[in-house]
Amino acid sequence: MARPKIALIGAGQIGGTLAHLAAIKELGDIVLFDISEGTPQGKALDIAESGPVEKFDAKLKGTNDYADIAGADVCIVTAGVPRKPGMSRDDLLGINLKVMKAVGEGIRDNAPDAFVICITNPLDAMVWALREFSGLPHEKVVGMAGVLDSARFRHFLAEEFDVSMRDVSAFVLGGHGDTMVPLVRYSTVGGIPLPDLVEMGWTSQENMDAIVQRTRDGGAEIVGLLKTGSAFYAPAASAIEMAEAFLKDQKRLLPCAAWVDGALGLTGMYVGVPTVIGAGGIERVVDIKLTRDEQAMFDKSVEAVKGLVEACKAIDSSLA
């Protein structure tokens, strides 16, 4: 049986890391696409040359031609610009919207059957625009944010409790921005919900609140340290988890920016919600019940995403 084909649109920091991870995990053959001449070719060759050492047979190709992504099973989109210190994700909207148009059309014309994972920021608006420009079915176009935000939350919690990260499960919902909603009540250590752990005295409410805020600011913390770009190792690992769930029909329950039409009281929009990812793409949006406080936070996040989508429509009249 032929190996699956994975197209990575954008061969920058995240794109290169995605290619490396996909090769090491032997998820399929990899095509790295970028408008920058030489970058995808150089990274593809460099990673391919690690094959004998890492012991993978995945084929890698770098290209500046969309024709080379033809027939891709998965496309992961990181094309665009990342933020610099002092910038919010929303400051990237104008420039990255134009990039989504070119990428969406490239996927529509060359890989219309792919499962498409968008990473470009501002995430919830860009995945919406990418879906509009590509015209692919909603269940096949999804944004990566919740897996990363939840991984950050899990990492901070594992440090706080001094337990293995494997035993920490956590959920972050809503838009991928300052209004994201780390759901404390649904987050557990070894199955014990966080509020119970506070009650047991394992940690304090103050520490929990600080971890929730650090999770919300997780992207900015890395941008502040790196100074020349944004996070790329954890974002790449998170998108690979989603791609693997699709390619292996794993039915993973993962928080993603998915098209929600009916669940959680929403009609027709992309926002971070719990989903099931399998061979059909987004096979289910999990309609969880929120408390009044959680709902208020989620509503605020939804409004922020709607504002960004309206801004996209104002910039590009074909989206209105």
Residue nearest to ligand A3D (CB): 12
Q: Which of the stretches 11-19, 24-32, 164-172, 311-319 binds ligand A3D when contact is defined by CB under 6 A?
A: 11-19
Provide the annotated active-site residues.
176
Of 5 and 101, CB closest to ligand A3D: 101
Q: Pick one of 6, 8, 14, 47: the residue that binds ligand A3D (CB under 6 A).
A: 14
Binding residues for substrate: 83, 89, 121, 152
Contact between 244 and 4 under an 8 Å Cβ cutoff? The reply is no
Site string for ligand A3D, 135-174 (x = CB under 6 A): ---------xx--x--------------------------
Say whether residue 15 binds ligand A3D (CB under 6 A): yes
Binding residues: 10-15, 34, 83, 89, 96, 119-121, 152
Neighbours of 256 (CB within 10 A): 27
Helices 146-161 and 205-216: crossing angle in degrees, nearest 10, is 150
Q: Pick one of 6, 7, 8, 12: the residue that binds ligand A3D (CB under 6 A).
A: 12
Q: Which of the stretches 134-142, 229-237, 262-270, 304-312 binds ligand A3D when contact is defined by CB under 6 A?
A: 229-237
Q: What is the 3-state secondary structure (H, E, C) of the chain?
A: CCCCEEEEECCCHHHHHHHHHHHHCCCCEEEEECCCCCHHHHHHHHHHCCHHHHCCCCCEEEECCHHHHCCCCEEEECCCCCCCCCCCHHHHHHHHHHHHHHHHHHHHHHCCCCEEEECCCCHHHHHHHHHHHHCCCHHHEEECCHHHHHHHHHHHHHHHHCCCHHHEECCEEECCCCCCEECHHHCEECCEEHHHHHHCCCCCHHHHHHHHHHHHCHHHHHHHHHCCCCCCHHHHHHHHHHHHHHHCCCCEEEEEEEEECECECCCCEEEEEEEEEECCEEEEECCCCCCHHHHHHHHHHHHHHHHHHHHHHHHCHHHC
Site string for ligand A3D, 263-292 (x = CB under 6 A): ------------------------------
Contact between 14 and 78 under an 8 Å Cβ cutoff? The reply is yes
Say whether residue 73 binds ligand A3D (CB under 6 A): no
Say whether residue 79 binds ligand A3D (CB under 6 A): yes
Of 161 and 275, CB closest to ligand A3D: 275
Site string for ligand A3D, 178-217 (x = CB under 6 A): ----------------------------------------
Q: Which of the stretches 45-53, 158-166, 224-232, 307-315 binds ligand A3D when contact is defined by CB under 6 A?
A: 224-232
Site string for ligand A3D, 230-259 (x = CB under 6 A): xxx--x------------------------
Residues that bind ligand A3D (CB under 6 A): 9-15, 34-36, 39, 78-83, 92, 96, 99, 102-103, 119-121, 123, 144-145, 148, 176, 229-232, 235
